[in-house]
Chains A and B, each alone.
Chain A
């Protein structure tokens, strides 16, 4: 792990504490929520640690002439682990201005997965799913650039299946301790996973289906975003961004059935940008251990292309997470709809994959830390998902309108074993109600710093 050179006792302790429940650290990045978790889990130690931290900051402030602004603006006492560890992974908009962080920090995450299919062992596969390197550079106390570079499937070349991607590249500027701005390629705030997609941040070897098939994680757009973090535990994000390109829809392939929006996202690659989208998200963490939130995204998808009907993609979600004691409970509901599909699909009748009018899904997940010793922690979990990538189709007349797709139901049971903060081993089994040929056993290794 790369850690800031200033990781003295207090900060190191805070880091370790936060990392001791990396799921929380990664997924509840706001100062309020981080504080809430510490209160939840480490009440006895918190005051002492805060005192140590404050002492360190005072010392540093005295030593560095440039420090006062940071000291004045940052609710540094509530700094989440994500700030003390030089990761930009939980790119929370509300990261406070650090006081002693080096100007440039490196970070990384990655995962190596193994899938064994019960009914077709010939499909058994091991894959370096992704290895990610990133850097964040702070220009001054208020302004930084955040980047993330990802290689998927180990090798990216013209003759290999891998991809090399720039997953994030944005400038963040804080106007006040409450309000800030992002510009560039950033993750869209949606669900629990999209902005916190590191393997240490979620249960199970593979990312859940609702937040990959319905919410197309890892979903990023280019644009402008403002965010605000309020004292009552509320975080608000809103912005304008690029959106989807319906002309990428390939009715002859099954890609659109696997993830309707994943098949038409643009990822800021020569993105058709006539139609700007708008988005917003609210998250409330006013009660320690609890996060309630929702998001919405909507925008035109025909991008002004000749002959394409006016179409609009809208996606919204509601999500909740509650971490009482050793429990970690989460639920997400996400629903997407696309307008104008009747006219669009009329020219594609008979093809295997027409554009759905609606698609949705939800999951509920419970995890319980049954054992921990030092950095080691074992957390079994269970997740139940229901999702449908073709909930309904616009009417094209009898014989031509595709039937609604069957609703897939997936049960995932497994455990995350934290080896050390930022390193996780995972194992689970997954049972699919419809695509039972995909029933499988998974193993995974992940890291994040």
Chain B
């Protein structure tokens, strides 16, 4: 039996679909109504709800504009070579633009990150970490959900020795005080702001969060799939087949954790339910920390705060990422073990039917499944739900051509960054 929190087969969010319908009321309102209707239809309209489609980019507020400057400023790192944008590259969907499992960082850029860079798009609807009423761990930022908000998240990379590697908050703020936009920062937050490093740091991270909240690019909803949901285009036959396989509980069952349907509030899907799962991803020797055979990245149960240290059942669980812009990525999963979507999907459906393809063989010739977890936590791996609920010799849940169909569908989730 799997812990109940593992993808608890819950009914997804309520679903609804398709295109913007212009109401009879709008029509009854005469020409003005019709033109409004036409306008809304033309631009695809905005979905309601917390993760609202922002209208065409408006000028950023002063705070958000400040956040943008900070986001792109390499001078805030100890190396002077790394900014937020260095790892969260816009062209790559605000994830890493290369295939490295961990990005270089540190004072001399000789350190390697221990986890793959997650995309920071489509996070404005995320919540602080919590257990839902069924006990499912949900929400939070980072792969282990340890940060409670975008601003909270923004506090860490500046101080992470493997990333921007500043010694402490005052040293970050000292760098900020020398930035080209320092005067603007003072104007925004007070002439004496740099004399209060903690206050300045808080405002700096709030500005970063505000930038992510306001800048359209972080939640553009400009993918072909969004247009499809709005009835503005049709997907190809292959893409539709891929969508069906993606949704089908008996096939890909992807939508169980990566919901694909609109919410009842009209919101477009984020392709993550912000929960956690333990997939038993193979160990990745590319991560230098893995040279130590006693090192294991245990994810949720090993958060630095130790708050879940007594939840052994959560060891090995990592956050479900959004699949928007996933085809722009070049490495996948928390440890960057896979480098192509084809491999990712094949792993999903053949992990249990052909484990020898993914795991090293033991002395007895048997594959050492789930080799990136200490053996006592192997039972935490999700083996109960499709497509994992198979045994060696069984047919995989998806064939090779079906995997191609799903990938074709996933390509519809790429934002069209030229749209605005």
Q: Do A and B bind each other?
A: yes
Q: Counting CB contacts under 8 A, is B50 at the interface?
A: no
Of the listed stretches A99-107, A213-221, A346-354, name the one at the interface; the rest are far from the partner chain: A346-354
Stretch at the interface among A86-94, A244-252, A422-430: A244-252
- Report Cα–Cα, A214/B248, bound state, in Å: 26
Which A residues are CB-close (under 8 A) to B262?
A: 247, 307, 347
Q: Would you give the shortest CB distance from A311 to chain B, in whole angstroms?
A: 9
Inter-subunit contact B15/A310 (CB<8 Å): no
Total interface residues on B, using CB and 8 Å? 42
CB of B57 to closest CB in A, whole Å: 20
> For window 208-265 of chain B, which residues contact chain A by CB distance below 8 Å?
228-231, 237, 240-241, 243-249, 251, 255-256, 260-262, 264-265
Given B12, B16, B20, B228, which contacts A247 in the complex, CB threshold below 8 Å? B16
Cross-interface CB contact of B14 among A249, A304, A344, A349, cutoff 8 Å:
A249
The reply on A233 being an interface residue by CB < 8 A is no
Answer yes or no: B195 CB below 8 A from chain A CBs: no
CB B364 to nearest CB in A, in angstroms, measures 39
Task: Judge whether B21 is part of the interface by a CB distance below 8 angstroms.
Answer: yes
Contact A351 B247, beta carbon cutoff 8 Å: yes
Partner of A397, one of B14, B229, B237, B265: B237
Give chain A interface residues in 333-360, CB to chain B under 8 Å: 343-352
The minimal Cβ–Cβ distance linking B71 to chain A, given in whole angstroms, is: 31
* Chain A residues numbered 283-307 whose CB sits less than 8 Å from any CB in chain B: 302, 304-307
Q: Does B33 contact A (CB under 8 A)?
A: no
Query: Are B247 and A348 touching (Cβ within 8 A)?
Result: yes
Closest-by-CB residue of A relative to B264 is A247
Contact in complex: B15, A249 (CB < 8 Å): yes
Say yes or no for A119: interface residue by CB 8 A criterion: no
Say whether A399 contacts B244, CB under 8 Å.
Answer: yes
Minimum CB–CB distance from B259 to chain A (whole Å) comes to 8
A309 to B33, CA, bound (A): 18
Q: Which B-chain residue is minimally distant from A256 (CB atoms)?
A: B15
Q: Which of A159, A246, A305, A310 has most B Cβ within 10 Å?
A: A305
Known: A252-B255, A306-B47. Is A247-B19 also a contact (CB below 8 A)? no
Counting CB contacts under 8 A, is A400 at the interface? yes
* Given known contacts A252-B15, A307-B262, A350 and B46 CB-to-CB distance under 8 angstroms: no
Shortest Cβ distance from B105 into chain A, in angstroms? 40
Does residue A253 face the partner (Cβ distance < 8 Å to B)?
A: yes
- B80 interfacial contact with A, CB 8 Å: no
Contact status of A247 and B266, CB under 8 A, knowing A252-B15, A347-B228, A400-B241: yes
Per-position contact with B for A399-422: 1 when CB-CB < 8 Å, else 0? 110000000000000000000000
Considering only residues 1-35 of chain B, those with a C-beta below 8 Å from chain A are 11-21, 23, 25
The residue of chain B having its C-beta at the shortest distance from the C-beta of A159 within the complex is B133
A151-185 near B? 1/0 per residue, CB < 8 Å: 00000001100000000000000000000000000
Q: For the complex, what is the distance from the CA of A440 to the CA of B59, rounded to whole Å?
A: 65
- A400 touching B264, Cβ below 8 Å: no
Pick the residue among A246, A249, A350 that contacts B244 (CB under 8 A): A350
B247 touches which one: A309, A349, A399 (CB < 8 A)? A349
The yes or no answer to B170 lying at the interface (CB within 8 A) is: no
Q: Are B15 and A251 in contact (CB under 8 A)?
A: yes
Do A306 and B46 contact each other (CB < 8 Å), given the known contacts A247-B264, A347-B229?
Answer: yes
Query: Roughly how many angstroms separate A24 CA and B244 CA in the complex, as a whole number?
Result: 50
For B256, list chain A residues within 8 Å (CB). Answer: 252
CB contacts under 8 Å to B, within A64-109, are none
- Chain A, interface size category, equals 35 or more
Question: Which of the residues A252, A346, A399, A400 comes within 8 Å of B18, measured between beta carbons?
Answer: A346
Answer whether residue B157 sits at the interface, using C-beta atoms and an 8 A cutoff. no
Q: A309-B19, A349-B240, A399-B241 are in contact. Are A248 and B264 (CB under 8 A)?
A: yes
**Chain B contacts for A396, CB-based, 8 A:** 240
Whether A350 contacts B264 in the complex (CB less than 8 A), given A252-B11, A306-B20, A344-B17, comes out as no
Q: A345 to B16: give the CA distance in the assembly, Å.
A: 8
Chain A residues contacting B243 (CB-CB under 8 Å) are 347, 349-350
Please determine whether A307 and B47 come into contact, CB atoms closer than 8 angstroms: yes
The B interface, classified by DSSP as helix, strand, loop or mixed, is loop
CB distance from A325 to the nearest CB of B (A): 49
> What is the distance, in angstroms, from B228's C-beta to the closest C-beta of chain A?
7
Q: A251-B261, A351-B15, A399-B241 are in contact. Are A304 and B255 (CB under 8 A)?
A: no
Query: Which residues of chain A are near B229, meaning CB under 8 Å?
Result: 307, 347
Interfacial residues of chain B within 258-287, with CB under 8 A of chain A in the complex: 260-262, 264-266
- Is A258 engaged at the interface, CB distance under 8 Å to the other chain? no
Interface: A2 (CB within 8 A): no
- Chain A residue numbers with a CB within 8 Å of B230 are 307
A 267-291 binary contact with B (CB < 8 Å = 1; else 0): 0000000100000000000000000
Number of CB contacts from chain A to chain B under 8 A: 131
Residues on A with beta carbons closer than 8 Å to the beta carbon of B240: 346, 349, 396-397, 400
B295 to chain A, nearest CB (A): 38
Q: Is B48 in contact with chain A by the CB < 8 A criterion?
A: yes
Residue B45 is within 8 A (CB to CB) of chain A in the complex: yes
Task: Please name all residues of chain A whose beta carbon is closer than 8 Å to the beta carbon of B15 when the two chains form the complex.
Answer: 247, 249-252, 348, 351
- State the Cβ distance, A184 to closest chain B Cβ, in Å: 24
The answer to whether A352 touches B244, judged by C-beta atoms less than 8 angstroms apart, is no
Residues from chain B with a CB closer than 8 A to the CB of A399 are 241, 244
Chain A residues with CB under 8 A of B45: 306-307
How many angstroms from the CA of A10 to the CA of B46 in the assembled complex? 67
Asked if residues A274 and B246 are in contact (CB atoms below 8 Å), the reply is: no
Within 8 A of B (CB), among A226-259: 245-253, 255
Q: How far is the CA of A274 from the CA of B266 in the complex (A)?
A: 15
Residues of B with C-beta under 8 A to A435: none
Q: Say whether B16 contacts A344, CB under 8 Å.
A: yes
Q: Which of B11, B20, B246 contacts A250 (CB 8 A)?
A: B11
Distance (whole angstroms) from the CB of B254 to the closest CB of chain A: 9
- Say whether A51 faces chain B, with CB atoms less than 8 Å apart: no
A1 is an interface residue with CB less than 8 A from chain B:
no
Within 8 Å of chain B (Cβ to Cβ): is A308? Answer: yes
| A306 CB contacts on chain B under 8 angstroms | 20-21, 40, 45-48, 266
B35 to A: closest C-beta gap in Å: 17
Interface residues of A in 369-422 (CB under 8 A from B): 396-397, 399-400
- Known contacts A253-B11, A274-B25, A307-B266; decide if A352 and B17 are in contact (CB<8 Å): no
A350 with B20, Cβ < 8 A, contacts A274-B25, A307-B230, A343-B231 known: no
| Shortest Cβ-Cβ A-B pairs, 5 listed | A350-B247, A350-B244, A253-B11, A347-B17, A247-B16
9 A–B contacts from the bound complex (CB under 8 Å): A158-B133, A247-B15, A302-B21, A305-B21, A306-B45, A306-B47, A309-B17, A348-B247, A350-B243
Which residues of B come within 8 Å of A, CB atoms?
11-21, 23, 25, 40, 45-48, 133, 228-231, 237, 240-241, 243-249, 251, 255-256, 260-262, 264-266
Interface residues of A (CB under 8 A from B): 158-159, 245-253, 255, 274, 302, 304-310, 343-352, 396-397, 399-400
Known: A248-B16, A346-B240. 18 other contacts (CB 8 A): A246-B16, A251-B247, A252-B15, A255-B11, A305-B16, A305-B48, A307-B16, A307-B19, A307-B21, A307-B231, A308-B21, A309-B18, A346-B228, A347-B17, A347-B262, A349-B243, A349-B244, A351-B249
